A = this chain, B = another copy of it.
């Protein structure tokens, strides 16, 4: 294979990777839409932003899905930790805003 052949092959793989990344961004956007709704539901009913049992269940399920798909389980665990930490941060933001508006509705300045 000459240099041009390598470049053609490489840019073909990269087109696939770019398509997959666009899909990843959109699927993550949808995931955050769902988790925002969870965050709003939790804030409205003053439920805690973290649910350790739910998380443990998610991690176990994801690790078995990763195994099945031939993905490194530790990698998926770390990646999901990263995503879930962002979700919890957003839940706390939603709860803070919701708490403030609830407080202001009651005329509180606290």
Q: Is the interface of A mostly helix, strand, loop or mixed?
A: helix
- How many angstroms between the C-alpha atoms of A45 and B9 in the bound complex? 12
Instruction: Give the shortest distance, in Å, between A36 (CB) and chain B (any CB).
Output: 10
Q: Give how many A residues have a beta carbon under 8 Å from the other chain's beta carbons.
A: 47
Cβ of A69 < 8 Å from any Cβ of B?
yes
C-alpha spacing A9/B41, complex, angstroms: 8
Known: A20-B34, A31-B24, A37-B13. A45 touches B1 (CB 8 A): yes
Mark A residues whose CB is within 8 Å of B: 1, 6, 9-10, 13-14, 16-18, 20-32, 34-35, 37-38, 41, 45, 47, 54, 58, 61-62, 65-66, 69-72, 75-76, 78-80, 82-83, 86
